[in-house]
Amino acid sequence: MNTYCQIMSVNAQELVEVRPRLRGNALLLHPLLDGTKEVDEALRLNHVALQPYVEKLGVDSVQAVKFKLETQFEPTDEEILFAEEGVEANINYLRARAVEGDFINQYDSQTKALMAKMFTPSTPPHLASEYSQVAIFSQEMEEARFARILESQTKEAIEIGELGGVKLFLHLIVALVVPWPVCGTLSGLIQRIFIAIDQALGSKLYALSRVRGVPQRSPESFIEVLLQIFNVGMIYVHGVNSDNVRMPQSNRCFTFLADVTKTTRIPVLLSGTSALLYHLQKQPASGSELLRNSYLEISSYSPEESSRVVKSYLEGLPSIIQERFSYKTAAQIFQKSEYQRRLFVSALTAAVVDAMTNRESDAKSQLGAADEELARHKHLLFALSTARSGRPISSQYRERYQAALPLSVKYVDSRRTRGITR
């Protein structure tokens, strides 16, 4: 155990009788937390994924632009809200943790207790309330993309060498982004948490070793202590679906996540498909705690978002394409796709390729290329259009295209109000 604790240990001699008065923003050391980077901008593009596009632009512009369009990410309003409220809860928690009580001495005591195999989470800050938010994605592909981009913005731990005038050595992990385990069990989830911590620290302390002394039957308290030791500001677990959520094996995972925010006040974000919602609704205790806020439905863009989305995609294209492609044309393609990201991108890609390969390309031919691409999805577009208008959908379309239909259409009784209650 000592090996694992060395990285988090503090020089105890320097902390004796030291009671510094920390600033409220003492732990807000990340651009998403200190206000220098807006959440919607952070979620907008996956800069790592776009690097190959930049490198290939001068070699094969057509393929480079196609790759860029397919990897670009423009979040929906609900995705922005999901992340923004999580970051706000993150800020409230870290700020309260810094200023309440004797943070540094408490930290030192906790690391010593951990080294002595005493796994007791420290008292949570009173000014930070319990926070959890559940999001239901209709497309697993979009959920994975959202999680990947959020992780790319927050994954590296911040090393802190001084706080409140005291020299020390600790870490701040802004957000721990954890994929739900395929097995759907608590042991699998804990292993994923170990891996995420290692990735944030750039180390191999936990994932590749057995942590000696950790109680195998009830490791929850040990994990909660680790989350506090590394000043994790938020934990986001994603990827819960019908293939990996199991009763009763998964119940313990949700109980643990509910207890994390209850015991430590660390905000918990959770997302998956409708199977996650069904599972939580059948768990009276942890389910109701995790669903303390109305769940967010994330399925497609709204008509009100069209200007922002179209502008973002066009501004990311090379200037030569922008000269040949009008905003009006892109807006029409967006409307034809019924605001689904996957359909819009495929249709826009076809239209852009037409603009790049044909010198005489105009708005009519570009829309024709988009229509030809969308024709392969005409039945899906019909189902989406029907759902958007509020008309009943036949069982044939409902069963075949339910993954792309809004959650409110599929799972909310027709006598209830459609959409999200928030």
DSSP 8-state code for residue 125: P
Give Dmax over CA atoms of the chain in angstroms.
78
Looking at residue 18, its pLDDT comes to 47
Looking at residue 257, its pLDDT comes to 97
Domain that includes residue 108, residue range: 55-118
pLDDT band for position 378 (50/70/90)?
Answer: very high
pLDDT (tens digit per residue) in 166-191: 787 889 999 999 999 999 999 899 98
Q: Check whether residue 260 and residue 190 sit in a common domain.
A: yes
Q: Residue for token digits 């990897």?
A: 71
Q: Does residue 158 have a pLDDT over 90?
A: yes
Entry pTM:
0.86
DSSP strands (E only) in 276-416: 296-298
Q: Check whether residue 107 and residue 202 sit in a common domain.
A: no
Q: What is the mean pLDDT of residues 310-319?
A: 85
pLDDT (tens digit per residue) in 11-58: 444 444 445 567 888 899 999 999 899 999 899 877 666 666 666 666
Measured distance CA(351)–CA(332) in Å, rounded:
11
Q: How far apart are the first and last CA of the chain?
A: 46
Residues of the chain with pLDDT > 90: what percent? 46
Question: Do the Cβ atoms of 333 and 367 come closer than 8 Å?
Answer: yes
Question: Do the Cβ atoms of 102 and 36 come closer than 8 Å?
Answer: no
For residue 230, the domain's CATH number is 3.40.50
Looking at residue 412, its pLDDT comes to 40
Looking at residue 11, its pLDDT comes to 47
Q: How many residues does the chain have?
A: 422
Q: Considering the domain boundaries, does residue 194 fall inside one?
A: yes
Looking at residue 215, its pLDDT comes to 59
Measured distance CA(200)–CA(75) in Å, rounded:
24
> Average pLDDT, whole number, for the chain?
83
The pairing of strands 132-137 and 268-272 is: parallel
Phi, psi of 206 (to 5 degrees): -115, -45
Q: Considering the domain boundaries, does residue 269 fall inside one?
A: yes
Q: Which of 27-36, 207-216, 325-334 has the lowest mean pLDDT?
A: 207-216
Angle between helices 220-229 and 186-201 (to 10 degrees): 20
Q: Considering the domain boundaries, does residue 84 fall inside one?
A: yes
Q: Considering the domain boundaries, does residue 396 fall inside one?
A: no
Q: Considering the domain boundaries, does residue 328 fall inside one?
A: no
Q: Considering the domain boundaries, does residue 268 fall inside one?
A: yes
Instruction: Report the C-alpha dihedral over residues 307, 310, 312, 315, rounded to 10 degrees.
Output: -120
Q: What is the mean pLDDT of residues 252-269?
A: 96
One-letter amino acid at 391 equals R
Measured distance CA(87)–CA(1) in Å, rounded:
32
Measured distance CA(193)–CA(177) in Å, rounded:
8
Measured distance CA(153)–CA(46) in Å, rounded:
9
DSSP alpha helix (H) spans, 208-273: 220-229, 251-264
Provide the number of structural domains found in the chain: 2
Q: Check whether residue 149 and residue 276 sit in a common domain.
A: yes
pLDDT band for position 81 (50/70/90)?
Answer: very high
Last residue of a domain, one of 270, 291, 312: 291
Q: Check whether residue 158 and residue 287 sit in a common domain.
A: yes
Q: Considering the domain boundaries, does residue 195 fall inside one?
A: yes
Q: Considering the domain boundaries, does residue 1 fall inside one?
A: no
Measured distance CA(30)–CA(16) in Å, rounded:
29
Q: Check whether residue 282 and residue 242 sit in a common domain.
A: yes
Looking at residue 411, its pLDDT comes to 47
DSSP element (H, E) containing 366:
helix 363-374
